[in-house]
């Protein structure tokens, strides 16, 4: 029988805020062999979270409408074969898994036949990756495009506001009750975005999105879109800490021309209050680090360059500042 595997790399990146870009780039090196995690057939959308001690959980969905989790203890280079069933129903799509002092929080959503989200759920796993008893918690229904775990029992729901070419968002309680006012994540117009938000150590969060900038040419009715990758910092109350900014410095080709910026990107919060973004441009996966104020600490770093490269699928820091890239 054909089997599926996920391959995980542990990358060292100690002391991010104290290193020069050249020194930091030199520190990006694997800390051990890759670990092959057994996955069910048709496994899709894996995500991972790392506990402070180094143990981590990888969660994914499959083609049979199920969500699974696999826990790997710290220092285990030969993970066991056991996977844990987390939830099912409808057409599930994995969203995220977050490490907490009490274990892990798993978020996923259900889609309709057109692939549009219709309901968002969460479920708690204990420190060994065992699901809590009872049914998953319903966080949001139709009209919401994304739900993110901001830690500390806070969640953020967001949606694309097409007429305004903007991304709206609102806080949610752990049981899906809306809290506070609607905020705008983007400060510049963007079309057809794919967004992601992660909590930072100061209690705030960073939102990052891939989208299309519409470039109108004088005298022409048609619009050619240029892909963009942007970010914006917010404090714990949801107030923006400045306008959005471009993450990448190497521009993609306009419209359908090369180089191609892949819409699949990843974001991870660093222990020092900053964050890292990873994305793919053609056959190269890039990394870039930002400090707690949202300033770029490094230029774009080529993490992986290979003809088989498609996109990063997940990444997370441990408490030492090492980055786990999947």
Of 34-38, 188-192, 286-290, give the lowest mean pLDDT range. Answer: 34-38
pLDDT band for position 21 (50/70/90)?
A: very low
Whether residues 7 and 137 share a domain: the answer is: yes
At 235-274, the pLDDT tens digits run: 999 999 999 999 999 989 877 788 999 999 999 999 999 9
Residue 129: the pLDDT is 85
* Residue 300 belongs to some domain of the structure: yes
* Residue 183 belongs to some domain of the structure: no
Whether residues 262 and 130 share a domain: the answer is: no
pTM over 0.85: no
Whether residues 74 and 201 share a domain: the answer is: no
Residue 218: the pLDDT is 42
Which residues partner with 323 through β-bridges?
A: 11, 317
DSSP string, 139-188: EEETT--EEEEEETTEEEEEEEEGGGTEEEEEEE-TTS-EEEEEEES-SS
CB-based contacts of 63, cutoff 8 Å, min separation 6: 41, 42, 44
CB-based contacts of 255, cutoff 8 Å, min separation 6: 224, 225, 226
Residue 62: the pLDDT is 74
CB-based contacts of 12, cutoff 8 Å, min separation 6: 27, 28, 29, 30, 31, 322, 323
Number of structural domains (the chain) is 2
Please name the residue that has the structure tokens 């510049």: 188
Identify the CATH number of the domain in which residue 282 sits: 2.120.10.10
Which of 117, 142, 167 terminates a domain? The answer is 142
CB-based contacts of 103, cutoff 8 Å, min separation 6: 124, 125, 126, 127, 128, 129
Whether residues 94 and 202 share a domain: the answer is: no
> Domain range for residue 248?
195-325
* Residue 186 belongs to some domain of the structure: no
Whether residues 235 and 124 share a domain: the answer is: no
Q: Which two tokens stand for residue 20?
A: 């020069």
């Amino acid at each position: 029988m054909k089997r599926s595997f996920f391959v995980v790399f542990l990358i060292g990146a100690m002391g991010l805020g104290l290193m020069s870009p050249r020194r930091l780039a030199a520190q990006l090196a694997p800390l051990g062999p890759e670990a092959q995690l057994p996955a069910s057939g048709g496994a899709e959308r894996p995500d991972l979270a790392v506990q402070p001690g180094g143990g981590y959980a990888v969660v994914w969905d499959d083609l049979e409408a199920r969500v699974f989790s696999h826990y790997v203890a710290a220092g285990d280079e030969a993970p066991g074969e056991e996977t844990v069933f987390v939830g099912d129903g409808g057409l599930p799509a994995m969203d995220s898994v977050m490490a907490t002092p009490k274990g892990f929080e798993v978020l996923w959503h259900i889609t309709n036949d057109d692939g549009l989200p219709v309901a968002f759920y969460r479920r708690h796993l204990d420190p060994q990756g065992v699901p809590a008893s009872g049914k998953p918690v319903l966080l949001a229904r139709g009209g919401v495009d994304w739900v993110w775990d901001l830690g500390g029992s806070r969640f953020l729901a967001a949606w694309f506001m097409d007429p305004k070419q903007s991304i709206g968002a609102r806080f949610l309680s752990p049981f899906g009750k809306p809290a506070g006012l609607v905020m705008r994540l983007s400060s510049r117009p963007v079309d057809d975005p794919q967004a992601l938000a992660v909590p930072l150590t100061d209690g705030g969060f960073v939102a990052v999105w891939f989208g299309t900038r519409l470039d109108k040419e004088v005298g022409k009715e048609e619009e050619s879109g240029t892909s963009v990758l942007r970010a914006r910092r917010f404090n714990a109350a949801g107030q923006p800490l400045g306008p959005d900014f471009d993450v990448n410095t190497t521009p993609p080709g306009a419209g359908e021309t090369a180089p191609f910026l892949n819409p699949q990107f990843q974001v991870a919060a660093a222990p020092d209050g900053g964050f890292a973004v990873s994305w793919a441009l053609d056959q190269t996966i890039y990394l870039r680090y930002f400090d707690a104020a949202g300033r770029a600490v490094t230029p774009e770093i080529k993490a992986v360059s290979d003809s088989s490269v498609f996109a990063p699928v997940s990444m997370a820091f441990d408490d030492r500042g090492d980055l786990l890239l999947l």
